[in-house]
Structure 1
Amino acid sequence: MTVTGKDLIDLGFEQGREFGAALAYVNEAGLEGQALRDWVEANRPAPRIKLQENPGYLLNIDAESEDEVENVASVKATMDILMRTPTIRAGAVMPDACPAGPAGTIPVGGVVAAENAIHPGMHSADICCSVMVTEFADSDPKTVLDAVHKATHFGPGGRPNGQRYTMSPGLYDAFRENQFLNDKKILQAAQEHMGTQGDGNHFAYVGVSKAKGTTCLVTHHGSRGPGAGLYKLGMRVAETWRKRLSEGVLKQNAWIPADTEDGVAYWDALQLIRKWTKANHNCLHQAATVFAGADVVERFWNEHNFVFRKGDMFYHAKGATPVNAEFMPDTNGTQIVPLNMGQPVLLIRGQTNKRNLGFAPHGAGRNFSRSAHKRAMAGRSEAEIFAEETAHIDARFFMGNIDISELPSAYKPADTVRAQMAHYGLADVVDEIMPYGSIMAGDWERDAPWKLKAKAKYEAKARRAAKEAARR
């Protein structure tokens, strides 16, 4: 008797990666009848996990303007799908929320708690995006802003030889011992990207404490190339588990079981990336301190794009600031919430309550995409927009070109986010760092080599066409 695939399926052995080997085995062993049924019962894989009913989530955001109505509707729509992922037990949405991808993708400002599961797609490629503050004893803001401008590096890639900050040899060795981080590209990026801030909404900001009158430096960036590399590898492993364990789960919501060898190694890799990112902030702050000839009063930081663990529950924050003391092993309890370059950076404190899952907003968020905001600004020059929106601060773009998608008008009204944070009892503001100036990457892609090459090619083609037309 030859056992067919249909026979195995009829006996309850689901199709999957074990199916072919199982079919070959039962035929080689000549199993049939009760012996075949007994073998299938003992060896068939567990049924694949299907989508669950939405367990509900906490919505800490209100639509207070026409612009906000569509944004909130989109956030709710994506959360409704996301919450059906079978590992998720709870969720919350912060006042700065906005969509961050296809429907079902965790939004910016979203928090979900997953049982025994780490979802790489829910911390995204910018792992451990975070903020650090240094308070100086007696330094003026311009001196500090000039110092961090000298110390930092924005834009693509890393630092060239001779201009690099040193990565801790112990941390480098720990990377090499981890199955995810012992990757040639990750190890190279870990050395080259130390002391870099990247692009987008990352910044170096200088202001004055409203409560103390002291000058403060604030930096915002994530784990750069090493984090992006870990994310890519993590998504690859999670996809293997998704196909093996689940049915109907979106690819971006794939997970790694935390109690597996892969899960333990990935969790350890996240902690090492966290250490690298904190060191990346610290080296810039320390260099700026030296260049400014300043004395430090206090330095603290917090991540807002990470995974936090409480027992077998893994809290994935996609742009949300932790206020639960259990999630802050090396902070002083004061957390940092930047809004935009023209507004104060908020220093907050909070506690876990029934609405926040232990988190608060991480910033102002957006109601529109970058490209939509640029379209809305059409008809006015970049210089005009820049002058109007930054008249009261020393705003600088490291790469030389203005990026209007990072000016204050590109973000939600800061007062709205603050008011909703207070209304829902997410956290309390304990101080404000009033703005003096800010440095961001700017629109570096405008002068990217591939764009300049394409522009030159287009212009040469146009000249040839004009000459050909003139000859006719």
Structure 2
Amino acid sequence: MAKLKLRGKDLRNIGYPEGPVISVAITVMEQHYKHHGQADALGLLRQVLQNPEAFKSEEHLGRIAEKLIVEETAEIPLNETPLPYEVYGREFIDEGAIRQMDYAMRLPITAAGALMPDAHQGYGLPIGGVLAAKNAVIPYGVGVDIGCRMCLSIIDIPAEQLEKKASVFRRELIAGTVFGAGAEWKPRVDDAVLESPLFAEIGLLKHLQAKAAAQLSTSGSGNHFVEWGLVDMLEPWEGLVPGRYLALLSHSGSRGLGAQIAGYYTNLAREIRQLPREVQHLAWLDLDSEEGQEYWQAMNLAGNYASACHHHIHRRLIKAVGGALLARVENHHNFAWKEKHNGEELVVHRKGATPAGKGVMGVIPGSMTAPGFIVRGRGEAASLHSASHGAGRQMSRSKATQSFTGHALAKILAEHKVKLIGGGLDEAPGAYKNIAAVMAAQTSLVDVVGKFYPKIVRMAEAGGLRED
């Protein structure tokens, strides 16, 4: 007899409300009533829905009943004034981002925060915002693209070969990458991340494994890219001596897997925590709750998945051009970590911010024509050991599209000797802040170890919103 398989849609069709009860109900039924037929299982679930009080003392169905018995809760008040926080590069951060950060610093769970010089307005927590919370995780404090990250590989091919064999590097870049919402790589690649037991243990993830497998080793839209370029190492690192090297740099995240996790648990947090309208996107999950633990595990899985995507892309492209890896530096910049600050363990959310603990290496990109930076963190306490994740936008995508022309973009690309594949006016270099000014605003946060100059850039076709 086939084992019971339920979908959230099945439960919603019989009246179950959107939220944690659906995940709990599916788990309970598939674990403890797996030999029931679907009709019988749904009939039982309908009985629990109609009279949850009658089932709350039962061992298994009681878990479902508890989720259905909703107590009226008052709106959680914010603190009257925001906690103080450091702002880096205040002169080029928009008021919307400052206002959002002020609200975040009034949450009752907030312990500390900081705003990076590339910050701009987002949803809930501004992009470029760093927020430390007490025993709680905020799904939108991590962001939609969980585990969005940078990965830079320095390879053993002489740097001058990039220009001499530009057509080869361009051809392999096109052949070895796929971009955009819903994009899949064929044939599929294998990776240990797909074998995580969490895909079987967490209700939401059961229905996302196939999507994750199909999208493994692909890249997103918006400002995500894979590019060949040149690195100037300014000091010895990882066995490399100062000098010029050929390198591959990529920027992307956890694809549909991360987006689904972010959306589901944000909605769940908003149902559990009734917050004022201005901070509804900052609803949190207690880490000692079942929902908080589920999100924490799912978030870490999405981070591992994002890392695997980059590694497959790099392995494929480096092999295609006949190179070998010399050194690599990579980092998340949409994630949450458990860290100790001022002697207290806190959950540090970096939504568009680079980890910059003392000695920690990272990559801060510029734009399709501006250099990126290989950095070493200085462990600055006021920034919660963080730095910017890039130059940061200074205008919206729609404004950028209206402000620049294809001719102007082609001209600036030619001036910097950059070849662009895909991309669009929404990603024009002028849409971003001056990376030199951003870096100057955070000299107390990081030391520059090397610079990366993009030369052959691949992005998704024009358009495609992404918050990172």
TM-score with structure 2 length normalisation? 0.75
Q: Distance in 2 between matches of 1:201 and 1:225?
A: 16
User: Retained in 1: the 8 A contact 2:426–2:463?
Assistant: no
Alignment of 1:125-204 (within 5 A): 125-139=144-158, 140-141=161-162, 142=166, 143-159=168-184, 162-168=186-192, 171-179=194-202, 181-184=204-207, 186-204=208-226
User: Retained in 2: the 8 A contact 1:144–1:217?
Assistant: no
Q: Distance in 2 between matches of 1:248 and 1:221?
A: 31
Q: Does 1:409 align with 2:430?
A: yes
**Aligned pair partner of 1:309 in 313, 318, 338:** 338
Residue 360 of structure 1 aligns to a residue in which SS?
strand
Q: Distance in 1 between matches of 2:259 and 2:116?
A: 25
User: Retained in 1: the 8 A contact 2:369–2:418?
Assistant: no
Q: Please identify, of 71-80 and 250-259, the stretch whose mean Cα deviation from structure 2 is larger.
A: 71-80
- Shift of residue 302, structure 1, vs aligned partner: 0.4
**Aligned pair partner of 1:372 in 399, 403, 406:** 399
Residue 182 of structure 1 aligns to a residue in which SS?
helix
1:115-145 Cα offsets, whole Å, 9 max, x none, are: 1111001112111110101110125323444
Q: Distance in 2 between matches of 1:79 and 1:203?
A: 28
User: Retained in 2: the 8 A contact 1:51–1:249?
Assistant: no
Q: Distance in 1 between matches of 2:256 and 2:72?
A: 38
Q: Percent identity?
A: 28
RMSD over aligned Cα atoms: 2.5
Match of 1:449 in 2: none
The residue type paired with residue 390 of structure 2 is G
- Shift of residue 276, structure 1, vs aligned partner: 0.8
Match of 1:74 in 2: 96
Residue 205 of structure 1 aligns to a residue in which SS?
strand
The residue type paired with residue 90 of structure 1 is A
Q: Distance in 2 between matches of 1:135 and 1:350?
A: 20
The residue type paired with residue 118 of structure 1 is V
Q: Distance in 1 between matches of 2:202 and 2:287?
A: 15
1:19-60 Cα offsets, whole Å, 9 max, x none, are: xxxxx99xxxxxxxxxxxxxxxxxx99987421131121111
The residue type paired with residue 121 of structure 1 is Y
Residue 85 of structure 1 aligns to a residue in which SS?
coil
The residue type paired with residue 226 of structure 2 is A
**Aligned pair partner of 2:440 in 419, 422, 430:** 419
Regions of 4+ moved over 6 Å: 44-48
Q: Does 1:113 align with 2:113?
A: no
Q: Distance in 2 between matches of 1:86 and 1:248?
A: 15
Match of 1:323 in 2: 356
User: Retained in 1: the 8 A contact 2:153–2:248?
Assistant: yes
Q: Does 1:289 align with 2:313?
A: no
The residue type paired with residue 199 of structure 2 is R
Q: Please identify, of 341-350 and 382-391, the stretch whose mean Cα deviation from structure 2 is larger.
A: 382-391
Match of 2:374 in 1: 347
User: Retained in 2: the 8 A contact 1:323–1:335?
Assistant: yes
- Shift of residue 392, structure 1, vs aligned partner: 2.3
User: Retained in 2: the 8 A contact 1:79–1:106?
Assistant: yes
Residue 171 of structure 1 aligns to a residue in which SS?
helix
- Inter-CA distance 385–208: structure 2 relative to 1 (3 Å threshold): closer
Residue 191 of structure 2 aligns to a residue in which SS?
coil
User: Retained in 2: the 8 A contact 1:145–1:205?
Assistant: no
The residue type paired with residue 281 of structure 1 is H
Residue 421 of structure 1 aligns to a residue in which SS?
coil
1:170-204 Cα offsets, whole Å, 9 max, x none, are: 633423234155231x2122111111111100011
- Shift of residue 91, structure 1, vs aligned partner: 0.8
Q: Distance in 2 between matches of 1:340 and 1:90?
A: 30
Q: Distance in 1 between matches of 2:269 and 2:105?
A: 18
The residue type paired with residue 147 of structure 1 is E
- Inter-CA distance 266–87: structure 2 relative to 1 (3 Å threshold): same
Q: For this pair of structures, how many residues does the alignment match?
A: 377
**Aligned pair partner of 2:273 in 233, 242, 250:** 242
1:273-317 Cα offsets, whole Å, 9 max, x none, are: 111111000000000011111111112310011111125411111
Match of 1:33 in 2: none
- Inter-CA distance 316–100: structure 2 relative to 1 (3 Å threshold): same
**Aligned pair partner of 2:418 in 394, 405, 410:** 394
Residue 244 of structure 2 aligns to a residue in which SS?
coil
Match of 2:89 in 1: 61
- Shift of residue 237, structure 1, vs aligned partner: 2.1
- Inter-CA distance 119–322: structure 2 relative to 1 (3 Å threshold): same
Q: Does 1:207 align with 2:236?
A: no
TM-score with structure 1 length normalisation? 0.74
User: Retained in 2: the 8 A contact 1:256–1:263?
Assistant: yes
User: Retained in 2: the 8 A contact 1:132–1:301?
Assistant: yes
Match of 1:279 in 2: 308
Question: Highest Rg: 1 or 2?
Answer: 1
- Shift of residue 92, structure 1, vs aligned partner: 0.4
Match of 1:357 in 2: 384
Q: Please identify, of 72-81 and 384-393, the stretch whose mean Cα deviation from structure 2 is larger.
A: 384-393
Q: Distance in 2 between matches of 1:77 and 1:284?
A: 39
The residue type paired with residue 73 of structure 1 is E
Structure 1: gaps (5+ residues): 1-23, 26-43, 326-331, 446-472
Structure 2: gaps (5+ residues): 1-51, 54-70, 234-242
Residue 90 of structure 2 aligns to a residue in which SS?
coil
User: Retained in 2: the 8 A contact 1:175–1:187?
Assistant: no
- Inter-CA distance 441–59: structure 2 relative to 1 (3 Å threshold): same
Q: Distance in 1 between matches of 2:72 and 2:455?
A: 61
Residue 355 of structure 1 aligns to a residue in which SS?
helix
- Inter-CA distance 299–216: structure 2 relative to 1 (3 Å threshold): same
User: Retained in 2: the 8 A contact 1:123–1:318?
Assistant: yes
